[in-house]
Amino acid sequence: MIQIYHNQRCGKSRSCLLVLEESNKEIEIINYLKTPPTAAELTILLQKLNLTPIELVRQKESIWIENFKGKTLSENEIIQAMAENPILIERPIVVNGNKAIIGRDLEKVIPFI
């Protein structure tokens, strides 16, 4: 089953979800703003994405700018910040087995699924 960490208010996320729905594959939609991933779940996602924590942060979000920008944070602190403020998590994230991608570029999503 393919999972998508989805934000309905995000146009890129809605477009990605449409591509997934059109693939006729079984998908699980995770509204990560309502049910945020834990720090442990984010750590697993980061491994599947092959990204560092800072690469998954939406650094232009006001929460990041006001509370974290310019500070020296450990990877665990960045993960905890995303767990506590899920709006900071880049979206959408598409998970297929042990691999994941950020699904903003639909041309990368299609071959991935």
Say if residue 92 is preceded by a cis peptide, omega within 30 of 0. yes
Separation between Cα atoms, residue 43 and residue 38, nearest integer Å: 9
Phi, psi of 98 (to 5 degrees): -95, 10
| Contact between 74 and 81 (Cβ < 8 Å) | no
Q: Active-site residue among 1, 4, 7, 10?
A: 10
Q: Can 16 be counted among the known catalytic residues?
A: no
| Contact between 100 and 41 (Cβ < 8 Å) | no
Q: Supply the Cα-derived Rg of the chain in whole angstroms.
A: 14
| Contact between 5 and 62 (Cβ < 8 Å) | no
Enumerate the active-site residues.
Answer: 10
